[in-house]
Amino acid sequence: MKFRIKAMFAGCALVLGAASTPALADGTSPQLRSASFVVVSERTGQVLVEQNATKAAPIASITKLMTAMVVLDARQSLSETLRVTSDDIDRLKNSGSRLRVGTRLTREEMLNLALMSSENRAASALARYYPGGTRAFVNAMNVKARMLGLADTRFADSSGLDPRNVSSPRDLVRLVSVAATYPLVREFSTREERYVKLGGRMERFGNSNPLVRDDTWQVGVSKTGFIREAGRCLVMQAWVRDEPVIMVLLNSQGTWTRTADAKRVKAWLETLDTERVAALAPGSGG
């Protein structure tokens, strides 16, 4: 697999590389299996490694990060009760849901389930209850994307089930970085589990990203996604060696490939030694 390394850091020291610096033959670069990806140092904005990073593609439930921001921007009451209706049933992909028609949850609970467990009916209900309804909500998503300078990004629904929801890895870095400024997005997207009362009993919902339950990870923002057109996707803000890093991994075909790729990136950054970093610095021989 061929991709480019643009910059690396060891500890807190960032070393910039030339844009055309190739991956080293000795295996320094992480061998990732996602079709498109980018890893960026959030502190400096430098790209650490990328492949197909400006190519727009379906993003599935990564969409819900924008959904959450639009909901929170509207400043509607988080304690207002929303009701799941037949309009929230997925008739495009026929995906299932434990939120049956008639389920009543607060906007805060819907937002939590949409971010943490990627609940599609919760995301749909959030859009329906927006001023002007779903159409106005999707329009607000696209307006916010333009305001953020996301040139490769378009939205067609609030859940990500529609493959017309597209973005590029570079755009998603910006999206994750902005999402991280919302305290509730950080809290809900990284929460391990939540119990919600459904049909008279408490139901457990877990996080769709197993890495938030891994003590070796420090995750600030997390979102997974999957539809057939997008493959398995994962975006995260995480800390490696006390440095904030944004990882965008799109179109992984194996069930565990996206999380395995994230682990490969983390291991790569943690094991870089001074000699290898120096080899990638501008003007180095070889």
Report, as residue numbers or ranges, the catalytic residues: 61, 64, 118
What 129-138 contacts at long range (C-beta under 8 Å, 24+ apart), as own/partner pairs, is: 129/76, 129/80, 129/82, 130/70, 130/71, 130/74, 130/76, 131/74, 131/76, 134/158, 137/70
- 76 DSSP assignment: -
Write out the two tokens for 48. Answer: 């650490």
Q: What are phi and psi of 165, to 5 degrees?
A: -75, 110
Radius of gyration of the chain (CA): 19
* CA-based nearest residue to 41, from 257, 242, 261: 242
Q: What are phi and psi of 132, to 5 degrees?
A: 95, -10
Through-space distance between the first and last CA atoms of the chain, rounded to whole angstroms: 21
Q: Say whether 24 sits in a helix, a strand or coil.
A: coil
Q: How far apart are CA 92 and CA 74, in angstroms?
A: 27
Secondary element (H or E) of residue 253? none
CA angle 32, 28, 286 (to 5 degrees): 135
Q: What are phi and psi of 11, to 5 degrees?
A: 65, -125
Q: How far apart are CA 124 and CA 119, in angstroms?
A: 9
Q: Say whether 213 sits in a helix, a strand or coil.
A: helix
